Amino acid sequence: MEEMDVNSGAQLQIRFITKQEIYAVANVPFSIPQQIDNIQLNKLLNELLRESTDSIKPVEFDFLVEGQLLRLPLIEHLKDCNISTESTIDVEYIERTAAPEPENALLHDDWVGGVQVADKWILTGCYDQSVNIWSTNGKHEVISREHTNIVKDVSWLRPSDPSGGFITVSHDLTGILWDWKPGDGSPTPITVLRGHERGIDSVGVSPNSERLATGAWDTYLKIWSASLDVNDGYEPQIKKQKSAKLSHIPSRTPIHTLKGHKENIVSVDWIDSQLICTASMDHTIKLWDTELCGLQNEIVAEKAFLDASWSNLSRSIIACSADRHIRLYDPRSTEGSICKMVFTSHSLWVSAITWSQTDEHLFMSGSYDECVKLWDSRSPKAPLYDLSGHQGKVLCVDWSNSKLLVSGGTDNSVHIFKNRHNS
Amino acid sequence: MLTRKIKRKLSNYGETVQNEDANSDSSDLTDKLGTNDEDEAPVNEYVDHDTSDEEDIRNTIGNVPMNWYDEYKHIGYDWDGEQIEKGATRDQLDAFLQRIEDPEFWRTVKDPQTGRDVVLSDDDVNLIKRINAQRVPDEGFDEYAPWIEWFTGEVMKMPLRKFPEHKRSFLPSKNEAKQVSKLVHALKMGWIKSNSYYKKLKAKKKDRFYMLWQSDTDAERMRRVHDHIPAPKRFLPGHAESYNPPSEYLFDERELEQWNKQKETPWKRKLHFIPEKYKTLREVPAYPRFIKERFLRCMDLYLCPRGIKLKLTIEPEALVPKLPSPKNLQPFPTFLAIEYKGHDDMIRCIDTDKTGQYLVSGSDDSTIKIWEVNTGRCLKTVETEDVVRSVKWCPNSALSLILIASGNKVILLNPNVGDFLINSKTDSVLRDSPKSDTVISERVRTTVQWQEPSDAEYIKGYRAVLVHFKEVTHVTWHGKGDYFAVVMPDGQNRSVLIGQVSKRRSQLPFTRPKGLVQSVIFHPSKPYLFVATQRHVRVYDLMEQTLVKKLVSNSQWIATMDVHPGGDNLLVGTYDRKVLWFDLDLSTKPYQTLRLHGTAVRGVCYHKRYPLFASCSDDKSLIVSHGMVYNDLMQNPLIVPLKRFEDHKKTNDFGLFNVCFHPLQPWVFSAGADGTIKLYCN
């Protein structure tokens, strides 16, 4: 408070509001100096809380003014947002997202192309054609080498239950459905998905775990059954050109093939059990209706996309592209720019991005500048935290388990960060 | 005061005037007029104060016409309210009688103010007489009074006024002059007109003719006024013209001799006079040639017609064509995104596959590597036996083939990436070589031999090996992916070979050497072949077997070239630092020469989709430019240099060897002598 008094000059009227009831303070306007920043507001708020609730432990808060996180002195923030300084300003405060802690690094033999966490199990796809399963405490459980080319993407069939099996896709033009139960030995390949003409880059599992969608360099989006039953969609008489290694596994053909993209499909996301969102290097994001087998909506941008993610909480798409920016799209908006926000901090290609499963504002991104960043969608100019540790390009990130932030890259390792923020 | 009174009286009397003595008193004047105000007590009330109502006492009706009282017997009222009697009115007979009887009749007049008869005194008569004779009315006035000289014409020795005359009094007035000049100017400019002009105008107006055939709307221009041309100025005198010039301006003997020698040709002299030195200005004699020179000057001005020379002032900036700002020419590569590291030696050549998923590079470490573009992963390394000088991915998407020039061999390699169906089909197509009946000529056989790869080579991916008799520096595919051309610069008249994959056959298109062939390239749509020798690019029609065009480069040594996907424009890089843009429709000379590089240009490349081209050189710079080709034949291509990248390191005096665009995105790859490939993105 003393420091504030030193800052003579113009004053501002603010009112503290919050949605977190345990930290509520009286709804009284305060007069504070214009140049006040985060730290001083924190001090002031903690002092107020101590008066009202006698809580001893100071809490760190973040402040929202006009829906954007306060990162500058208040007056500059107001100027940026074009808000009059004469009226009383509502300053919403939330508990600050705690910094993730580095927990573990899983060392592979080659680059890590895909990673996903389910419960306590981390599934990774590696450029040495192997598929690995690790426990979250860093123990290598299983390795399997059925693929004949680099593995580009992996996904558990059920987001929280590893015993439901998983799917891996590779540049050997196939995807493999695996059956695995925790505690088993190596996973059994159930069926091979054949149909793509070029390397498969991305895979997505529908929310009800019944369908799969894969996007590949042949520009097609193919939809498959995700059933672990071998006979589902099995066609025994084909496969003249089977590669020797995979020939012993039964194959499966796609239910639908959706054509429309002009280049590689980099990301496949199921919005609901009918709607698929795909991002492609041909500068478009497309929404496909699987019932009608057609295009439902299209977002056309100017730069090639490298990854995208859909969040059911915020109902919006976050996409990263080769021009180093991350963009937030609202596919439902009809008027004005469909791009709602641009997040700029990475210095090279942003190659991987994913929303938090529990918080509608948080997402993480990985880039070729060897950096993984944790973002709040209300703070477009700077990320919340930089998660350093990688010594090469980051190729994949995952936040399926809300407690773990996982990223894999060309330094042959998967880095695990523990999320301490509970929301 | 007195004279005023007289005047008043004179006016009152009308035609006849009563003479009055100048000395006569006002009191006896009243007596003479015979008014009835004697009873008014003391007369001296008005003696010293002559009041204005003195006269009104006699005429009580005021200054009104007398005929208003014609009907009445009286005229006004007196002091006591009694009517003032009018004098008895007489008829003509009475007047006649009185004229006869009254001796004073001739001097009796009627006072119009009172209506009474007044007998004029002698003085009055006298006065009238004098006026009639046009003499001074006052008898006592001395017309010839002695002259009193108040202001003398003689100049006094000691003047009465001490101060001198003001300057204004003997100088013409400037103000006046200014006004006059203004008027003169206005007259000249035709703003105001003289009276004579108006008169003339009026005279003209009488007979006005209308111009039938010529408009007279524009005002007459006065050349001397509106387009005045000032006389050329003389040079200001220099030091030599000084009366006391510094001694170096004075003639020494040699100069004097020279001067004298040029007597016959005085216009050749440096100076038209001999500089002379005087101590003071006083000693300077009159200039003997003054009159003559003035005269000559006047003659010059008079005889030499003057004219206005129109001088064009063109700023150097205006000559530079206006180029659009690079900001408006997006997209183009702007930053370094990915480096592809792995080669141990200089990378000579790169190429991408049709989808932009893979990149192939050939290096001096005699390997080729296949890279995944998006991640920078080296997927495959194939070792060859010699330096790889050229690699080209087959443009036919149904064939998975790479053409490799390694030493004197050309290898057709199946990289086995991407669609494995295509890969295996390619293998099966190339496995059984077709048996053809045509006999291969001796000339071709000594130039090239098609060989089957050995088993070890087959596993590496070799599908066919062509052994040439000289080192191969450049290979290129035809757009359909069946034919390819091979260049051996040392091959004399066998330096260009065209091979066909499907028939496993080569042919030599040229019989005579045209020079040191540097590079060849197929036209994207027509059956044309561009052949670059050291100085020229020749365009051959392969069907007709004729020379279509010969492009003349203004450079010493062509290094490389690329053809625009439209086929009408050609980009040529030369070892003498130039990049030439040929518009084949326009001329056989370069449409534009870009001198952006500091040293030899090693690689040029067009983008297949975007209006971009790039060039790289040994000064380790890669320059990306905008090169828009319009469908409109009237519009020339627009060329704007956009961006320069200098990220490669210089190795063995080499910078960059090759440049290649991503087939779909506006991205560019550069292959450097430092063993890295760099990808620049937008």
Q: Where are the domains of chain A?
A: 2-95, 101-418
Helix (H, G, I), strand (E, B) or coil at B341: strand
> Which superfamily, per CATH, for A101-418?
YVTN repeat-like/Quinoprotein amine dehydrogenase (2.130.10.10)
- Cα separation, A422 vs A98, in Å, equals 8
Residue B428 lies in a domain: yes
> Domain end: B79, B97, B132, which one?
B132
Residue B67 forms part of a structural domain: yes
- A322 CB burial (10 A radius; 0-12, 13-18, 19+): buried
Q: Point out the domain boundary residue: B286, B303, B320.
A: B303
- Closest CA of chain A from B534, distance in Å: 41
Residues of A in contact with B338 (CB under 8 A): 348-349, 368
> Could you tell me if B548 and B671 lie in one domain?
yes
Phi, psi of B153 (to 5 degrees): -85, -10
Judged by a CB distance cut-off of 8 A, whether residue A140 touches chain B is: no
CB B102 within 8 A of CB B2: no
Let me know whether B276 and B337 are in one domain: no
- A240/B contact by beta carbon, under 8 A: no
> Containing domain of residue B457, as a range?
329-681
Query: B124 with B261, same domain?
Result: no
Determine whether the interchain pair A306/B424 forms a contact, defined as Cβ–Cβ distance below 8 Å.
Answer: no
Q: Are residues B630 and B532 in the same domain?
A: yes
Helices (H) and strands (E) in chain B, counts: 13, 33
pLDDT of res. B426: 85
Structure confidence at residue A308 (pLDDT): 92
A243 touches chain B (CB under 8 A): yes
pLDDT on residue A65: 83
Chain B partners of A323 at a C-beta cutoff of 8 Å?
681-682
Q: What is the complex's ipTM, to 2 decimals?
A: 0.86
Q: How far is CA A23 from the centre of its chain?
A: 30
Instruction: Scan for tokens 């426990």, then name that residue.
Output: A135
- CB-based contact B356 A263, cutoff 8 Å: yes
CB contact under 8 A, A263 and B664: yes
Q: How far apart are CA A4 and CA B74, in angstroms?
A: 116
Number of structural domains (chain B) is 3
Q: Which of the residues A151, A323, A410 would you substitute to probe the B interface, choosing the one with the greatest number of B C-beta atoms within 10 Å?
A: A323
What's the pTM value of the predicted model, to 2 decimals? 0.69
Among the partner residues B337, B375, B420, nearest to A322 by beta-carbon distance:
B337
Question: Would you state the pLDDT for residue A423?
Answer: 52
Distance from CA of A61 to the nearest CA of B (A): 37
Instruction: Please state the separation of Cα B14 from the chain's center in Å.
Output: 86
Low-confidence ranges of chain B (pLDDT < 70): 1-59, 87-89, 208, 214-224, 435-437
Query: How many contacts, defined by CB atoms under 8 Å, are there between A and B?
Result: 63
Q: What residues in A contact B418, CB-CB < 8 Å? A: 198-199, 217
CA distance A215 to chain B (A): 14
> For chain A, which residues score pLDDT lower than 50?
1-7, 234, 236-244
In this complex, the residue of A111, A199, A241 whose CB is nearest that of residue B421 is: A241
B421·A263 Cβ contact <8 A: no
8 Å CB contact of B665 and A324: no
Contacts of B550 (CB under 8 A, 6+ apart): B536, B537, B538, B539, B588
Q: Which of these, A127, A411, A99, lies nearest to B378 by C-alpha position?
A: A127
> What CATH number is given to the structural domain containing B623?
2.130.10.10
Residues of A with Cβ-Cβ distance to B372 under 8 angstroms: 150
Backbone angles phi, psi at B350, to 5 degrees: -140, 160
Look at the domain A2-95 and name its fold.
Answer: Ubiquitin-like (UB roll) (3.10.20)
d(CA A32, CA A40): 10
Asked if B246 and B334 sit in the same domain, the reply is no
Residues of A with CB below 8 A from B400's CB? none
pLDDT of res. B88: 67
